[in-house]
Structure 1
Amino acid sequence: MSKIFKNYPEIMDELEDVKKIMKKSIRSSEKYFDEAISPMIDNGGKLLRPGFLILSGKFGSYEKDRFNNLAAVIELLHMATLVHDDIIDESNLRRNTESIQSKYGKEYAVYTGDYLFSQCLIMLSEYDYDKESLKNISKVISKICLGEIKQFNFRYATDMNFRKYVRIASGKTAALFSLSLYVGAKESKCEESITKTFAKIGYNIGMAFQIIDDLLDYKGDNKSLGKEAQRDLIKGYYTLPLIFAINKDKNNDIRRILNSDILDDNDIEKILELVNKYEGVKKARNVAKKYTFRAYDNIEKLPDCKWKNVIKEIAKGLLERKY
């Protein structure tokens, strides 16, 4: 279970229910799906998106079963994108276990991601959710796909810049965080101004989360990250720490290495040294702080209740995380 919510037993209990709903939803006559997907659920992940949905829901009229089902949908949607990501990136590790594409092959992984998407649609039909919620869920799926295509189009681009990076991160990561908090507030019938504030909070937390994720790729290892370190760099996805370092490297040493036909371990090590030399990680962390402080400002606009402080504490914890 996620370390993020360990100090909030009420949320932890509901997230356990969410996991049970997810496990129930993947059962079918084909035993493979349970065998392949259950480890991803059991090994957890941070469960941030369903957790945020539950939290924003508590600002209004909250119905536990209805919200936990919707939270499970959001997490299964996230998992589906991860399964497909691992195919494209040829990743061998996901949540500290062998990825589906590595263990079962790309064909099975494609069908697994599709199956998870289909289960999301079935689960959304089980309750009378607001049409705006359903519309926004559909829009975010589209945004995620467009974000992935943008990212793929910018592979190995040494002219990658901050603006392009934000477009990708906002479409991929921030959109789903924003959706989670928005939908929770919408379904609990919060006022429109509060619902929109939650969407802004989610966007800013999502952007900060992605930037921290990217800088940890330059600082962490496989075990702490739960996935392969430096995978983005190897596959040609140049993220914010590297972008900042490239822009400060007037000798073009980083570009020369990146333009090599194949990056070996020595090349990777040299790039990590140069990113550190040009303070790429430090600058990226400062940008993550700016997004987090924007989230704090938005959180202050929420009605006063105990959950308001919880959201702020979690945003702070995400900025300081090492995993």
Structure 2
Amino acid sequence: MKIHPMWHEYPTLAPELSSALTLIEKQITTNNTPVAEAILEMINGGGKLLRPAYCLLFSRFQDTDREKMIALAAAIETLHTATLIHDDIIDKSPTRRNQITIQKQFGPETAVYAGDYLFVVCFKLLAHYASSLRSIQQDSGSMEKILKGELDQMATRYQTDITIDDYLKQVSGKTGQLFALSCFVGAYESGGNNNFAKAAEKIGMDIGIAFQLLDDILDYTSNGDTLGKPVCEDVRSGVYSAPLILAMQRDRQAFLPLLAKKDQISDAEMDTLRDLVIQYEGVKQAYAMARQHTEQAIAGLKKLPAGPAQDDLIRLTSSLLNRKA
């Protein structure tokens, strides 16, 4: 199973990630062949597999059943893919990872069922491989927080008075929570004690927040071909991220005429908006926040037992701050 080239630098991790993808593929047994193929195409569409990777890396501090941990990592990635499918429905996204989204290809109704189907696959894997109800409880609790983050984001659409605290609350409930869950499950299910698992969860939250900050920065500094999805589409749908929020703190009036256009803002006006965000140092400030959360995560990782697992976790986490897509 083909995985992202970045994992070639992690030779012990790469085959386990490939096995996780293979296991997910085996779980997709719906009779709706076009939808099944679309789900598989998305799963194999070049995603970085960061969440299952963190699950697997945190499981390596103890000797444990690797088949079990691969299956739990597969459950994490299945949950992540389900949330992406549902996100694309809400955002009406036409592409992701340079591929046509399921909602664009088959319509939002079918996409809802595809996402729901993956939630079922996720819980089937958890029910079969989790050692106790704790991981299932943690997973269901995380799903609740992810949903709450989505609802909080929906409640602030087109609100130009959104604060950076509002943004961080949303991000913690969405991206942060899924990374936190990945790290927790890896640490807990491998036999780590509760303190170790909770420390892993906190590290994962910082990693997730930093990751989302970088994602939002790239929306203003990259292009659609590099990202594999349209840039700045969140602005059109009223979702204002850290670079814009921080830039508006410098001169809100400079942005209001453009934001008043809402979903009717033109491409030329969007370019102007991006220039203003950079001019008022929204990108610079957001990057400083991403660095801070990355440094907090690395500080937590350095407190863990020394060895290959710790080395790989620090190396991977450090590299995310410099990603271009």
Q: Deviations along 1:59-109, whole A, 9 cap, x unmatched? A: 113211111111111001000000011011000001210000001111110
2:14 equivalent to 1:12? yes
Partner of 1:254: 255
2:324 equivalent to 1:322? yes
Supply the AA of the counterpart residue of 1:65: E
Rounded to whole Å, the distance in 2 between the matches of 1:31 and 1:307 is 40
Which stretch has the larger CA shift, 312-321 or 259-268? Answer: 259-268
TM, length-normalised to structure 2 = 0.96
Report the CA distance between 1:6 and its aligned residue.
Answer: 2.4
Pick aligned residue for 2:219 from 198, 209, 217? 217
Partner of 1:231: 233
Task: Give unpaired runs (5+ residues) of structure 1.
Answer: none
1:75-94 to 2 correspondence within 5 Å?
A: 75-94=77-96
Secondary structure of 2:221 counterpart: coil
Report the CA distance between 1:128 and its aligned residue.
Answer: 4.5
Is the CA contact (8 Å cut-off) linking 1:70 and 1:124 kept in structure 2? Answer: yes
Q: Deviations along 1:195-234, whole A, 9 cap, x unmatched? A: 1211111011111000000000001112211211111111
Is the CA contact (8 Å cut-off) linking 1:4 and 1:314 kept in structure 2? Answer: no
Secondary structure of 2:64 counterpart: coil
1:164-183 to 2 correspondence within 5 Å?
A: 164-183=166-185
Partner of 1:122: 124
Report the CA distance between 1:141 and its aligned residue.
Answer: 0.6
TM, length-normalised to structure 1 = 0.97
Rounded to whole Å, the distance in 2 between the matches of 1:132 and 1:4 is 32
Pick aligned residue for 1:147 from 146, 149, 158? 149
Secondary structure of 1:126 counterpart: helix
| Amino-acid identity (%) | 39
Task: Give unpaired runs (5+ residues) of structure 2.
Answer: none
Pick aligned residue for 1:271 from 246, 270, 273? 273
Supply the AA of the counterpart residue of 1:255: L
- Aligned residues, how many? 322
Displaced runs of 4+ in structure 1, greater than 4 A?
A: none
Rounded to whole Å, the distance in 2 between the matches of 1:122 and 1:192 is 24
Supply the AA of the counterpart residue of 1:197: A
Q: Deviations along 1:94-134, whole A, 9 cap, x unmatched? A: 12100000011111101101111111122222224222111
Supply the AA of the counterpart residue of 1:318: L
> Kindly tell me: are residues 315 and 69 of structure 1, through their superposed partners in 2, closer, same or farther at Cα, counting changes over 3 Å?
same
Pick aligned residue for 1:25 from 27, 33, 38? 27
Which stretch has the larger CA shift, 192-201 or 46-55? Answer: 192-201
Rounded to whole Å, the distance in 2 between the matches of 1:184 and 1:117 is 19
RMSD: 1.2
Report the CA distance between 1:259 and its aligned residue.
Answer: 1.2
Report the CA distance between 1:27 and its aligned residue.
Answer: 2.0
